[in-house]
Structure 1
Amino acid sequence: MYWNRFWEGRKLPKSVNAWQFGGSPDAYAQLVIDGIKTATCSGYIFYEMENEPLPAINDYSIILNSTDEPVAIIKVIDVQILPMNEVSKEHAIAEGEGDRSYQYWWNGHEAFFKKELAKIGMEFSEDMLVVCERFELVDVKK
């Protein structure tokens, strides 16, 4: 397994998650591999509903492609929980999507959250809490 081979001879971290980016898993994973995408954000409400632990600094994640195959390992270097309308321009740019503008980031995330919240009978709000993560690429599966 990719994870075990990567950690061979090293001290394993306490926990690891494996997940896909929402929206376009393959494209976003490639942006991570290319060093363009160094941040992401997700809706806080989804962590609450699924009783999932929030990401924390020094957490490791295996990034999966759209067929659930591992493609890379990242390490969380910063986490902030804040209203979506307070996410900084710098964070939006670090997400590396589209033309890398704040407006592109806002439009894409608003559409994504509206769709996902509608599935659970909720409405989007500009001040909904989001979990903003900054990360560094640790390894790429060869």
Structure 2
Amino acid sequence: MTASPQDWRSLESFAFGDSPEMADRLLAFVLSGTKTATCWSIRDGQQTEVGKQMVVKDGAGRPRAVLETLSLEQVRFSDVSWDFAHAEGEGDRDLEDWRAGHRGYFARNGGYDPDMMLWCERFRLLQIVGEGAER
């Protein structure tokens, strides 16, 4: 089931990353189809569930896309697979690049530990909304 243009406005929303620039960069990866996964620290709580649809906002807070969670699992940072890092669609799309970027992100946002647990989500793009949507 996809979100219709009438009901996406009632969905919970979020932006990727920890800055407007990062939100825009990661959103661009989603819109291009290269980013189909994301993760966050367990300490930030379970923010979705399988089947949940959410609106992604750009760095200015504008709704841009509807995503649906396909899978969600807990994984230790040091155990994240190449396949998952590749699905995140960022940087060089290799595991070492993923680890370096995420190590920095987590250090800026509450602390990094190679044994920290993550929520690892895979999602699909259901609809582009707002700016850039087909009218």
TM-score bucket of the superposed structures, by smaller chain: 0.7 to 0.9
Paired amino acid for 1:72: A
Instruction: Give me the whole-angstrom Cα distance separating, in 1, the residues matched to 2:119 and 2:75.
Output: 7
Shift of 1:88: 1.0
Instruction: Give me the whole-angstrom Cα distance separating, in 2, the residues matched to 1:100 and 1:82.
Output: 18
Query: What 5-or-longer segments of structure 1 have no aligned partner?
Result: 9-14, 48-52, 118-122
Shift of 1:65: 0.3
RMSD: 1.8
Structural mapping, 1:13-92, within 5 Å: 16-23=11-18, 24-47=22-45, 53-92=46-85
Query: What 5-or-longer segments of structure 2 have no aligned partner?
Result: none
SS of corresponding position for 1:79: strand
Q: Work out whether 1:5 is the aligned partner of 2:12.
A: no
Which of 116, 127, 132 is the aligned partner of 1:139? 127
Shift of 1:6: 4.3
Q: Percent identity?
A: 27
Instruction: Give me the whole-angstrom Cα distance separating, in 2, the residues matched to 1:87 and 1:108.
Output: 13
TM (norm. structure 1) is 0.81
Runs of 4+ in 1 over 2 A off after TM superposition: 3-8
SS of corresponding position for 1:80: strand
Tell me if the contact between 1:84 and 1:126 (Cα under 8 Å) persists in the aligned partners: yes
Shift of 1:105: 0.6
Query: Per-residue displacement from partner, 1:115-136 (whole Å, max 9, x unpaired)?
Result: 111xxxxx42101010000000
Aligned residues: 124
SS of corresponding position for 1:5: coil
Paired amino acid for 1:127: D
